Structure 1
Amino acid sequence: MVIDLVGLIRPVLRRSVLAALLVGAALPAMAETLGDTLVAAYRHSALLDQQRAVLRAADEDVATAMASLRPVLEWTLEHQFIESEGFESTSTTASLTASMTLFDFGRSQVTIDGTKEVVLATRYALMGVEQDILLTAVQAFMAVRAATEQVELQQNSVRVLGQELQAAQDRFDVGEITVTDVAQANAQLAASRASLSSAEGDLRVALEDYAAATGAKPQGLSAPPPLPTRPASLEAAQAIAQKNHPAILQASRMVASAELGIAAAAADRKPSISGSISGRANKDGGSQMELGLQMSQTLYSGGRLSAAHRGAMADRDETRATLLNTSRQVNQAVGIAWANIDVAAAQIRAIDEQISAAQQAYDGVREEATLGARTTLDVLDAEQSLLEARADKITAEANLQLAHYQLLSSMGLLTVKDLQLGIPTYDPSAYYNAVRDAPYTSKQGDNLDRVLRALNR
C-alpha cells in the first residue's frame, strides 16, 4: 500500500481557510491544547486499531511459515465392518503418524524471510496511518479555532455595522444624508448577518469533524504551540524524508519481499526430502511400526513453475517502480509544504502593511464623513477593505500553521514519538515476539495470552 501524499495535502489546503484565527480571544482556563487533541486522536482512532489487526495477521504469517519446518503429528482412529461370503467381521485400528520436511534446499527459509519483510512493511504502513490520523487531528484543531474566531469576527462586524446604520439613520433624520445612504448601510448590515450565519454553520461542521477525529467535542481550545522548526534547506528536508517517510520504508520492504519471492519461485523447482514415522495398533493387540524417507521433485508442471517464476520477477519490477514513484511523491510533498510556508510568511508580511494602511484609511474616511466630506458608502467601502485585509491575514496565518505540520508529515516526522506527546504507544514488536516461533501451548502460549489481553485493554 502506497500513500498518495499529494492527494492528502491538497484537500487540507482547500480547507485551510477554515483554520483562520489561531491567536486572539480569551479562552477557557481548561482549554485543550494541540497536544491534548493529538493524544485523543491517537487513542480514539478505529483506523489505527484496524491497521494493528492487519499487522497482527502478518505476524501470524511468519508463524505459519515457521511451522513448515516442524514435525506434523496426526492420529487416526479407523473402524471397519467387513462382510464377505456370509462372514462378517469388524476391525478397529488406531494409528499415530509423525512427518517432517528434512531438507528442501532453502525453500521454507526463503518463505520465512519473505513473510518477515512483509511484517516490516506492514509496520511502516501502520506508521503512515498514524501520521494521517495526527495530521487530521491538527486540521480539526485549527478548523475549530478558526471557526470560533470567525464567528466572533462576524459578530463584531454586525455590531459595528449596526452602529453605522444607526448613525446613518440619525444623519438622515436631521437631513444630512438621503434615504439611499440609509439603504446602503442597511444592505451591508444584512450581508454581515448572512456571513455570521455562515460562520456559525462552519463552526458546527468543524465541531463535528473534531469529534470524529478525537471522540468528543472540545470545551475550548488554547492557542497552538510555537511553529515547529524546519530544516535549514529544502534539500535537507527532502533528505530527511527519503530516510524517514513510512511510505518509502514500506515500499523498500516490499521490494525486498519481492526479491525473496523470486528466490522462492526458483526453489520450487528443486527436490525436497521428508521423513515419516507411524505406529498402528488394532483391537486384537496387533501392532505395526513404519519408518519412511521420501525424496520428490516436480519434473513437469505444464508450465506452472515457469509462470510462477516469471510472475515473481514481474512483481519485483512492480515494487521497484512503486518505490521510485513513492520517492518522487514524497519529494514533491516536501517541496509543496516548503513553498507554502514561504508563501504564507511573505503574505503575512505584506498583509500587515495592508492592514495598517486600510486602518488609517478607514479612520480618515469616518472622520471626513462626520464633516460631510464623505458619504456613507465611502465609510462602508473602507470598512469592507479593512475587514478583507484582516481576513486575508487570518487565511495566511492558517496556511502557515498547516504547512508546517504538512512538512513534518511529508518528512515522516508527524508521529507520537517525534512529537514527544509523552504517552504510551503501541509496540508492534510485542505481538510479533510472542508468535514468531509459532507457539501452541506452554510458556510461550501464556505469554501470548498476556499480550492479547493487553491489546484488548
Structure 2
Amino acid sequence: MFGLKRWMAGTAAVAVMAFAPQAQAETLGDALVSAYKTSHLLEQNRALLAVADEGVAQNIAALRPVINFIAEYGKTRTLADPTALTDLTGRESFREQATVSLAIELTLLDFGRSKARTEAAKEAVLATRAGLVGVEQDVLLKAVQAYVNVRLTLEIQNLRQNYVNVISEELRATKDRFDVGEVTRTDVALAEATLAEARAALAAAEGDVLVAREAYKAAVGHYPAVLSAPPKAPSLPGSLDAALSVARREHPSIIAQQHTVKAADLNIELAKANMRPTVGVSGTLGASGGAGSNLDYNSQTLGLSMSQTLYAGGRLSSQLRQAQMQREAERAALHQTAVTIEQNLGNAWAQLDVSAAQIDANNRQIEAARVAFEGLREEAKLGARTTLEVLDAEQDVLNARAARVQSEAERYFAVYQVLATMGKLTAKDLNLGIPTYDVTGYYNFVKDAPVVSFQGEQLDRVLKSLGKN
C-alpha cells in the first residue's frame, strides 16, 4: 500500500512549488497597496467628505453680503378716453422702460445662528473624516481576508489533490493484490468509492479556490497571481486591557460619534438662536430710462431692518425639543458604540487564543492520526485490519492536516481583526510606504468659500485628483 511518508513528501513538494517565494510573487503588502489605490468605496467616501467640506464653505458664505443684479424691461400701451379727445390720432401711446439695479443684503446680527451652523458643519466634517478612516480599515481588512483565503483554499486544494493521487495509487495496488488473490472484490470497491469521494472533495476545493479568487479581485482590484507567504503578523499590545485602551481613544467609530454628539449640542444652540431677532441692512443702486418717456433717473436706497418671529404655532419650541432629544440619542449611540467595539475587540482577542489552542490540538491530532494510520497499515498486511479501516485512517490524517491549515489561517487573520477593532488598521499604521489621502486638502481650499478664479483652478485640480493619489 502506498506509504504516508510518500504522500507527505508529495504534499510538501507541491506546496513548495505553489508557494515558494518568487521574484514576481505578490506580497500581502502589494495586495494592501492595490486595495487602497483602487477601492471605489474609498473614492465614494472621499467625495462624501468633500461634500461635508462644502457645508462649511456654505455656512461661511452665509455671513457675507448677497449681491443680486436685476435687469427689467417693460413696454406700456396707453389708451385715452375717446370722449376727451379732439384729435383721434392721440388715442394710443407707447412707453418703453428699462431698469437695471444692484441689490445688496447683509445680515449684521443673527445672535448665534451662523456661528452654530458653521461649527456644526465643522463637526460634521470631522465625523466624516473619522468615518473615512473606518472605511479604509474595512477595505484593508477585506484585502487581508481575501489574501489569506486564496492561500488557504490553494493549500486545501493541494492537500486534496495529493490525497486523490495517493488513493489512485492505492486503488491500483489493491487491484494488483486482487489479481493475485490477496484481497476480495469488496476491497477494490471500497478503494474505488474512496477515490470517488476524494475526487468530489477535490472538485469542491477547486470551486473554493475560484470563489476566493473572485473575492480577491473584488477586494484588491485584480485576480491573484502567485502569492508569497504572508509576512510575520504585526505585533499587538501585551494584554486585552491595553488593546481596549487604544480602541477607546483611536477607533474611528468612537471618534466619529463624539463629533456627532458635539454637532447635536450645537444644533440645540441653533434652535435657541432661531427664537432671537435678526438685524440686517439692505440697499439698492438703480438706473431707469426708456423711449417714449422723458423721465430718466438714478436711485439709491439704504435700509436697516430687524425681524423676529413672535408666533409660529409652536414650531420653534418643537425644534428645540427635537434637538435636545436628538442630542440624547447621539449620546446613547456613543455609549453603545463603545460597548460594541469593546465586544468586538474581546471576540477578536479570544479568537487569537482559540486559534492558538486549535493549532496545538491539530498538531497532536496529526501526529496521532499518522501513528494510527501506520499501525493500521502494518496490521492490514497481516490481515488483522480491513482496507476500509486503513482508508478511514488515511482520511483522518488528511482532515487533521486541513484543520491545521485552517486554524493557522484563522489565527493570522485574527491579528488583523484585533488591529481593526483597535482602530490601527490603516495604510499609515501598516507602514505601506505609499502617499495617503490628505483629508484636509480639499477642506483647506473651500473652508473660506473662495470665489476668485485662481482658487477655482486649484479646486479643479483637487477634484481631478480626488481619490487618485
In which range does the TM-score fall when normalised by the shorter chain? over 0.9
How far did residue 366 of structure 1 move?
1.6
Q: Tell me, in whole angstroms, the C-alpha distance in 1 between the residues paired with 2:460 and 2:404.
A: 56
- Structure 2 equivalent of residue 215 of structure 1: 221
| 1:54 matched residue in structure 2 | 48
Task: Identify the residue that residue 388 of structure 1 maps to in structure 2.
Answer: 399
Q: For the Cα contact (< 8 Å) 2:281–2:303, is it kept in 1?
A: yes
Contact in 2 for aligned 1:333/1:410 (Cα 8 Å): yes
Distance 2:97 2:196 in 1: 98
For 2:288 and 2:420, locate their aligned partners in 1 and report how far apart those are by CA, in whole Å: 69
| Pairing partner for 1:364 from 372, 375, 389 | 375
Specify the alignment match of 2:334 in structure 1.
323
Query: 1:379 Cα deviation (Å)?
Result: 1.1
Deviations 1:367-397 (A, max 9, x none): 2222333221121121111111112111211
Match of 1:427 among 429, 432, 438: 438
| Greater alpha carbon shift after TM alignment, 390-399 vs 336-345 | 390-399
Q: Show structure 1 runs of 4+ deviating over 6 A.
A: none
Superposition map of 1:229-244 within 5 A: 229-244=235-250
1:100 to 96, 99, 106: 106
2:146 equivalent among 140, 143, 165: 140
CA distance in 2, matches of 1:318, 1:346: 42
- Encode CA deviations 1:105-158: one digit per residue, 9 max, x unaligned: 121011000000001111111111111111111111111111111111111000
Question: Aligned residue for 2:456?
Answer: 445
Task: Give SS of 2:183's match.
Answer: coil
Give, in angstroms, the shift of residue 24 of structure 1.
4.4
Q: Answer whether contact 2:150 2:212 (CA < 8 A) is retained.
A: yes
* Superposition TM-score, scaled by structure 2 size: 0.90
| Residue identity opposite 2:171 in structure 1 | L
2:88 is aligned with 1:77: no
Q: SS of the residue aligned with 1:275?
A: strand
Give yes or no for the alignment of 1:25 onto 2:16: yes
Distance 1:273 1:71 in 2: 13
Deviates more, 1:45-54 or 1:282-291: 282-291
Cα deviation digits, residues 16-71 of structure 1 (max 9, x gap): xxxxx9x9433343111111111111111111111111111111111110001001
Match of 1:90 among 78, 90, 96: 96
With 26-35 and 123-132 compared, the bigger mean Cα shift is at 26-35
Report the secondary structure of 1:428's partner residue: coil
| 2:279 equivalent to 1:277 | no
- CA deviation vs aligned residue, 1:292-320 (integer Å, no higher than 9, x gap): 11111111111111111111111111111
The corresponding residue for 2:158 is 152
Shift of 1:285: 4.0
In the other structure, the counterpart of 2:124 is 118
1:325-379 Cα distance to aligned partner (Å, 9 max, x none): 1110000000000000001101111221121121122122222222333221121
Structure 1 residues 456 and 320, CA, compared in 2 at 3 Å: closer, same or farther? closer
Paired letter, 2:58: T
Conserved in 2, the CA contact under 8 Å of 1:272 and 1:296?
Answer: yes
Q: Once the two structures are superposed, what CA deviation does each residue of 1:236-262 show, in whole Å capped at 9, x if it has no partner?
A: 111111111111111111000000000
Task: Compute the RMSD of aligned alpha carbons.
Answer: 1.6
AA at the equivalent of 1:185: A
SS at match of 1:223: coil
Is the CA contact (8 Å cut-off) linking 1:344 and 1:400 kept in structure 2? yes
The equivalent position to 1:290 in structure 2, one of 290, 301, 305, is 301
Matched residue SS, 2:309: coil
Query: What is the aligned partner in structure 1 of residue 188 from structure 2?
Result: 182
Q: Are 1:406 and 2:400 matched, yes or no?
A: no
Give 1:340's aligned residue.
351
Size of the aligned set, in residue pairs, is 436
Are 1:25 and 1:149, in contact at CA under 8 Å, matched by a contact in 2? Answer: no
What amino acid is aligned across from residue 420 of structure 1 in structure 2? N
Q: Distance in 2 between matches of 1:162 and 1:310?
A: 77
- Partner Cα separation in structure 1 for residue 425 and residue 238 of structure 2: 18
Give 3-state SS (helix, strand or coil) of 2:286's partner.
strand
CA contact (8 A) 1:111 1:260 kept: yes
TM value normalised by structure 1: 0.92
Q: Work out the CA distance in 2 between the residues paired with 1:261 and 1:24.
A: 61
> Aligned to 2:306, what secondary structure does the other structure show?
strand
Moved more, 388-397 or 303-312: 388-397
